[in-house]
Amino acid sequence: MNSESGSNYDNNRITTALLLAAGTGSRLFPLTQKSPKCLTLVNDKSILERLINNLKSQGFKRLVIVTGHLQECIKDFLGEKSGDICIEYIHSPLYKTTNNIYSLWMARHIIKEPFVLFESDLVMNSTLLDDMVYPDRMAVALMQPWLNGTTVSLNKANMVTKFQKGTTESYSDIRYKTVNIYSFSLLSWQAIIKQLNQYITEGSVNCYYETVFSEMVDNKSLSFESVSFDHKPWYEIDNIQDLAEAELLFPKELKESAVHENAMA
């Protein structure tokens, strides 16, 4: 790569993130009875604090959060700035009766630049985002027996060719689990907004945004390059069992004094 193309590549780096954090986190109850899902502690740090640290390490400058359930807790925890990251909030008043398609639609006016989309139940090693901070990419992991949810198929160029719902059916091709982190160019986002507007206008507020992405990939109006998350730890925390597994992957960090004392012993 010559210096000019390298410079253009760096200029393409995304510095805006969108976090969907409106849901009630019912499967993590009672932990989410008095605190939103993203403030659930994974050992010593909440999901949200871990994400903020990941964004800081990747040079993000703007974070937009769609809130709903116990939004005040998130605002009290983060405020309007964290390091170099400016934080903005959009409240979804219909969070109890809508799904993530509606939360994404809520961001249509406030975000007018390329961005990376995150869900509020993910913990990960920050280096996994190294290749996600460029437009029109999707994080994926090789499907395993203990994973569930939406899967995708890839071609030889690692481009996403199709979304599939559910994982119980037998299949012959290699499937990849969606990690629910996506990056978008401005053109892709504008095209997505048009589709979201159609769904919301028709009253389809309780489905998943993957339905829109799947339809657009099928008709070639949206394309994603896959980014493998298989080489470093990550976990999607939906329930108490998931939380226990995540805590094994992301153990407590020893304080410097403890490390020093252990070294001297």
To 5 degrees, how large is the angle CA 99–CA 104–CA 105? 100
Please provide the average confidence, as pLDDT, over all residues in the chain: 89
Per residue in 102-116, pLDDT (tens digit) is: 999 999 999 999 999
Cis peptide before 36 (omega within 30 of 0): no
Residue 24 backbone phi and psi in degrees, to 5: -85, -15
Q: Which of 6-15, 61-70, 183-192, 245-254 has the lowest mean pLDDT?
A: 6-15
Pick the CATH number of 3-264 from 1.10.3720.10, 3.90.550.10, 3.80.30.20, 3.40.50.300: 3.90.550.10
**Alpha helices, DSSP H, located in the chain:** 3-11, 47-57, 71-78, 100-105, 186-201, 209-218, 240-249, 256-264
pTM over 0.85: yes
How would residue 169 be classed by pLDDT, with cut points 50, 70 and 90?
A: low
How would residue 121 be classed by pLDDT, with cut points 50, 70 and 90?
A: very high
pLDDT higher than 80, residue 168: no
Distance CA 1, CA 53 (A): 30
Domain boundaries defined on the chain = 3-264
pLDDT value of position 195: 98
Instruction: Look at residues 58, 43, 96, 27 and name the one whose alpha carbon lies nearest to residue 246.
Output: 43
pLDDT value of position 252: 84
What's the DSSP call for residue 145? T
pLDDT value of position 255: 53
Distance CA 210, CA 34 (A): 29
Please, which residues bridge with residue 159 across strands? 225
Instruction: Look at residues 107, 37, 22 and name the one whose alpha carbon lies nearest to residue 68.
Output: 22
Instruction: Look at residues 219, 218, 125 and name the one whose alpha carbon lies nearest to residue 179.
Output: 125
pLDDT value of position 3: 43
Per residue in 201-228, pLDDT (tens digit) is: 999 999 999 999 999 999 999 999 999 9
How would residue 28 be classed by pLDDT, with cut points 50, 70 and 90?
A: confident
Q: What is the mean pLDDT of residues 6-25?
A: 84
Q: Is residue 102 within 8 Å of residue 205, measured between CB atoms?
A: yes
